Structure 1
Amino acid sequence: MSGILQGKVALVTGAGHGIGRGHALELAKQGAKVVVNDLGGSAKGEGSGRVAEEVCEIIRARGGEAVPDFGDVGDEAQVEAMVQRAIDSFGRLDILVNNAGIVRDKAIWNMGADDFDLVMRVHLRGTWLTCRAAARYWRERAKAEGGKVYGRIINTTSGAGLLGNFGQSNYATAKAATVGLTLTLSVELASIGVTVNAVGPGGLTRLSAGDKALKEADQYAEDEWEPLGPKVSSPLVAWLASEEAGYVSGQVIRAIRDKIYWMHGWTEARTISNGNKPWKAEELGKRFGTEVFGVRAAGLSLGG
């Protein structure tokens, strides 16, 4: 295979189904050698399986190179082994795509602490562990080679993490935190040449539509383009992983249907000043109402 990632080595987590599967196939299509990671469990994080091997077989049948990895992204030792598998199999690691995830959706009053902890373990701890393992590898290479290295990290966020979503206080928290991690790592790893970005994909997968959508989602990831299919964001991921995108870091970009959105996060929308005097709580209501939120006309009393 030839393409914009010719000769590069990528590790994609959660690549057995849906969005991760689409990423692995697209990276391979663009010439990358791929470590296909997937524990093989259910959408709720239960059990394990060998689905990563199925994706590798597809890649090999299309002329690419891939090896499976069945490790748990939340386990420190298994994450270290993932990175080592890329090095042992293909000589190095150039690209890390963090996609592994599960859902345990419930309104907060019904959500158990274990539902929160497990979702955070997979999405956030898992992303942090893989980023750390890759960062340590690239930093050692940079020190040994006396300069910058080729390194790309693409993390996965979501609309729930950026905007909030009912019933997903665990998932949304993890995805919002992934953005914070992305922004921080883009600063920490800049000096050694590594870029770090986050992609917010849109599409129906087993996480968003349930296991009944699994077969259909995987089909779209392999063979067809579907506006709500799971591979809509995969070309964006491949481009961010390429040489051409070396100037892009610390960004959040969403891909939904046929549109790509460059996101701007928390910015100073409006500022009020108290003239170098301390604020008084009883005065803030009127100032916020008239000068910040604009929900009161000037001159109205707090009770008006």
Structure 2
Amino acid sequence: MDLSGRVAIVTGSGRGLGLAYAEALAAAGASVVVNDVDQAVVDAAVAAVGGGAVGVAAAVGDTASAGRLVAAAVETFGRLDVLITNAGILRDRVLWKMTDDDFDAVVRVHLRGTFTCARAAAVRMREQGDGGRLILIGSPAGQRGNFGQTNYAAAKAGIAAMARTWALELARSAITVNAVIPVAATEMTKTIPAFGPAIEEAERTGRPLPAWMRHDEGLGTVEDVTGLITFLASDASKDITGQAIGIGGDRLTLWAHPSEKHIAYAEGGWTAEAIASSWDFPPETYGIPAPRR
């Protein structure tokens, strides 16, 4: 994919998945604005990305930070074509132990940060008049729920809903909006007992992750996710919008949207007693499935 002439912002790109996204876009020819909260991390990421990348140290969530990111793209490179909203934090606790601050901090960065940055980017892209790409980073937790992640799962579910909404609103402007659901070996996945030893072994020896992890669990390296990011940033994806697309290891998936799966009717409406006597809907599964090894 040739992204020469394209300008991209990647939030939360100082390390991990975000840095891999920024490096892949730059390798494809795009000019990149790197972002992290720590200036030293930003400087190191800019050097790693190369290609004339610029950095903005800012915590996403407020309108001013979003404006700074868009301004950096426009003032340095003259335009904005792609936004990847990757910035995020974790404050994991079960419901009865989660504080207001735990909840608000995660929602502010993930959900509000995605909103403010996407709004600023959409305004600029609509002014330019030649389309654009909004790539919103979701999570399996937002698709299925996950123990101890009320705040994170809620924010990521909201991001998928915003992708569908914005795809409708921005279609006439030729701006596509998609959610990406990545699964990769990161510091977070190292904490999962079924995955941690294999990830650490691969990092220590330089050997690939085992086939059962890459294929059966769809979990690979951060670099395995970047092909989808580059594709969605390109002209080849111009007809794809409003989707939630998963990638990890050897697996590429399209997530189903919520829909009515079973429907029943009662003439005149449903009483509580009628529902109780007629309820035979098979329950949906929930939660991220446990590893199969």
Output the CA distance in 1 between the equivalents of 2:187 and 2:139: 15
Output the CA distance in 2 between the equivalents of 1:209 and 1:117: 26
Output the CA distance in 2 between the equivalents of 1:184 and 1:136: 16
| CA deviation profile, 1:80-127 (whole Å, cap 9, x unmatched) | 011010001101000000000000101011111100000000000000
Partner of 2:10: 12
- Asked if structure 2 preserves the Cα contact closer than 8 Å seen for 1:73 and 1:126, the reply is yes
The alignment partner of 2:13 has SS state of: coil
Alignment partner of 1:252 out of 224, 244, 251: 244
Partner of 1:58: 48
Alignment partner of 2:277 out of 283, 286, 291: 286
Output the CA distance in 1 between the equivalents of 2:255 and 2:122: 25
Partner of 1:204: 185
Output the CA distance in 2 between the equivalents of 1:50 and 1:194: 33
Segments of structure 2 that go 5 or more residues without pairing to the other structure are 215-219, 284-293
Output the CA distance in 2 between the equivalents of 1:242 and 1:224: 31
> By how many angstroms is 1:136 displaced?
1.0
Partner of 1:45: none
| CA deviation profile, 1:220-249 (whole Å, cap 9, x unmatched) | 8xx997553222211101101101100000
RMSD: 2.1
One-letter code of the match for 2:47? Answer: E
Partner of 1:145: none
Output the CA distance in 2 between the equivalents of 1:101 and 1:229: 19
- Asked if structure 2 preserves the Cα contact closer than 8 Å seen for 1:202 and 1:232, the reply is no
Output the CA distance in 2 between the equivalents of 1:23 and 1:96: 11
The alignment partner of 2:180 has SS state of: strand
Output the CA distance in 1 between the equivalents of 2:125 and 2:277: 53
Aligned structure 1 segments of 4 or more residues deviating by more than 4 angstroms: 223-227
- Relative distance call for 1:254 and 1:224 in structure 2 (3 A) is farther
Larger Rg: 1
Q: Does 1:121 align with 2:108?
A: yes
- Relative distance call for 1:224 and 1:117 in structure 2 (3 A) is farther
Output the CA distance in 2 between the equivalents of 1:264 and 1:163: 11
Q: Does 1:173 align with 2:157?
A: no
- TM-score with structure 1 setting the length: 0.82
- TM-score with structure 2 setting the length: 0.85
Output the CA distance in 1 between the equivalents of 2:190 and 2:80: 33
Alignment partner of 1:193 out of 159, 174, 192: 174
- Relative distance call for 1:15 and 1:224 in structure 2 (3 A) is farther
Output the CA distance in 1 between the equivalents of 2:95 and 2:227: 35
One-letter code of the match for 2:92? Answer: D
One-letter code of the match for 1:27? Answer: L
- Relative distance call for 1:88 and 1:224 in structure 2 (3 A) is farther
Partner of 1:302: none
Partner of 2:260: 268
Alignment partner of 1:137 out of 124, 141, 154: 124
Partner of 1:298: none
Identity of paired residues, percent?
38
